[in-house]
Amino acid sequence: MNTRVCKRCDNEKDITEFYKHKKSLEGRRRVCIQCYTETCKTYEARTIGDRQCKLCGVTKTITDFSKDPGNPEGRKVWCKECLKKKTTYYRNKDNHTKETYRLKNREAYKKYSTENRGKIQARWALRKSRKLRAVPKWADLNKIKEVYQECRRLTEETGIKYHVDHIIPLVNPIVSGLHVLENLRIIPATENLKKNNSYEIN
């Protein structure tokens, strides 16, 4: 009886348990029919079905993901589209979250910015203050963020526009304020505009 040892399961089986394959040695596959079918099934499982992109969060068909043998599922975790945008994505690490939302889709970003306006305003204020070198090392950035969120909440609840004001303005010919909790207060927008960067020294 002509037998052969399967390369995968290591079982010695009758030669008829191996598919005919002209290109293979002795005209038969090195893997038994059973193992061969299993391999095909796993391969098929990899080529059908959906997968959620880790970057944009969109569920796409598996073919929208590039093959990656190094990955357990044999595919990249980012969709092809996102991979293309990879360079843009890493250009500014600060923009990480922002970029993610932007990629997801404009609508989602719009929703995010409406819901997190306080956070965004806090971020802008911080950026501006950093430019002016008004952020000391001891500034509690989380507390500051809370002030901006509280300001946003007030605006939404009352319908009156509130601003976060620097008691001592960041830019002033005589004194320059700091972007710190102690120098912040929430005041109605109209008052803030009236103030117009002036600061009375008593």
Contact residues for Zn ion (CB under 5 A)? 6, 8-9, 32, 35, 53, 55-56, 79, 82
Of residues 162, 189, 167, the one with CA closest to residue 180? 167
Query: Closer to Zn ion at the Cβ: 54 or 131?
Result: 54
Report the nearest approach of Zn ion to the CB of residue 9 (Å): 3
Report the nearest approach of Zn ion to the CB of residue 49 (Å): 16
Query: Closer to Zn ion at the Cβ: 56 or 144?
Result: 56
Query: Using CA of residue 97, residue 99, residue 103, residue 109, what is the dihedral sign?
Result: positive
111: part of which helix (H) or strand (E)?
A: helix 106-115
Report the nearest approach of Zn ion to the CB of residue 116 (Å): 22
**Number of alpha helices (DSSP H) and beta strands (DSSP E) in the chain:** 8, 6
Query: Closer to Zn ion at the Cβ: 83 or 186?
Result: 83
Query: Closer to Zn ion at the Cβ: 29 or 152?
Result: 29
Report the nearest approach of Zn ion to the CB of residue 83 (Å): 8
CA 67 to chain centre: 22
Q: How many CB atoms lie within 10 A of CB 181?
A: 14
Q: Give the contacts of 21 (CB within 8 A, at least 6 positions apart).
A: 27, 28, 29
